Chains A and B, each alone.
Chain A
Amino acid sequence: MYDIITVLAAEGPNGWFIPADPKELYYGGAAFLIVMALLSWKVLPVIKKGLNDSQQAMVDEGASADIALADAQKEEGDLRASLGDPQAEGKRLVAEAHEAANQLRLDSHAKTQQMVNDAWAKAQGDVVSLKTSVTSDLSGEVSTKALTAAEAIVANNLDGPAQTDLIEDYIQKVASA
């Protein structure tokens, strides 16, 4: 190998491939080896670690996707379970609506009946009260008219002799008391 290089170097006037001084090859090879060693020592672990991290991230993302998929599937299952049979659910809702409407009707009827009963009782009480009041007023009016008539009759009959009789009667009662 060295011979060939030496020959080539001797035959050619410093060509583009073979340097004029063969030692350059040695230096270049040594430098190359040094660079490669440095790369293997420092850079390659960094690159390897980066690749490993990237790979781990991809694995983690895959796991997260699996978990999300599992959650979605579970939620789907829950939703389907909650929905159950749509027709049966619809019938149930309609039945509930009917029941609520029926209860409302019953409540309304009872309330109306109670209002009617209260109004009837109040009306009866008012009638009794009004009857009592009218009777009392009428009685008072009759009494007033009777007294007015009595006073008028008495006043008309209280002439001189009647006054004298009343006074004499009074004197006799005082004297005999």
Chain B
Amino acid sequence: MSDNRVKGYAQAMLNVAQAEGNVTGISNEMFSVAQAVSSNEELRSTLTDNRIPANRRQQIVEDLLGGKASNATVGLVSMVVGAGRAGELPDIANALAAMAANQDGRQVATVRSAVPLSDDQQQRLAAALKQNTGQDIDLKVIVDESVMGGLVTTIGDTVIDGSVRSRLSKLRETL
């Protein structure tokens, strides 16, 4: 999907979220749904399979998210899946998060961790990142077991890699 199309979908979602008065909530839910689709191969292949009728794929989305996310989020995800763009859902969610954060003068920081972060850890990490960047941080945590341990933070084009995986990779290169 081209950048323009991703931004177009993200902008449309932002408009809906603003109309609903729940930009942060819908943005967070979209981000979570996108991560779930990315990390689940079976779900991703089902939602991106164009041989399955669009209404059937949309029904799967509504069944999965019903009661767990806002109606607006369910509708937006259903719209993307019905349009055959489920594969681009992570890019759209990231663009939406960036737009929502920029609207409030914040910057999105994506954090990958092998284990979930507590609220306290997230707050302290956001504060530490704000101290470095000078901007309020909208933290998006992704649980990724491939990290093994530690954290990998991405802010824009900057990557702060403190993961065990990267240390082992460096060890492999040294050997």
Contacts and interface: CB of A to CB of B under 8 A. Distances in A.
Given A158-B114, A163-B115, A177 B132 contact: yes
Contacts of A173: 162
> Chain B: interface residue count, which band?
20 to 34
Contacts, number: 61
Contacts of B172: 143, 147
A174 B128 contact: yes
A163 B162 CA distance: 12
B124 interface: yes
A167 interface: yes
A150 B127 CA distance: 34
Contacts of A177: 132
B79 interface: no
A155 interface: yes
Interface of A: 143, 146-147, 150-151, 154-155, 158, 160, 162-163, 166-175, 177
- Majority-rule SS of A interface residues: helix
A147 B168 contact: yes
Top 5 A-B residue pairs of the complex, sorted by shortest distance between their CB atoms: A175-B128, A143-B175, A174-B128, A170-B162, A166-B150
A154 to B, nearest CB: 6
Nearest to A165: B149
A166 B175 contact: no
B19 interface: no
Interface in B108-122: 113-115, 117, 121
Given A167-B151, A170-B125, A174-B128, 9 more contacts: A150-B171, A151-B168, A155-B148, A158-B164, A167-B113, A170-B151, A170-B162, A174-B160, A175-B124
Contacts of A162: 149
Given A147-B168, A163-B115, A174 B149 contact: no
A150 B128 CA distance: 31
Contacts of B171: 147, 150
Contact of A167 (B131, B150, B160, B175): B150
A174 B164 contact: no
Interface in B26-55: none
A147 B148 CA distance: 14
A170 B124 CA distance: 11
Interface string B91-129: 000000000000000000000011101000100110111
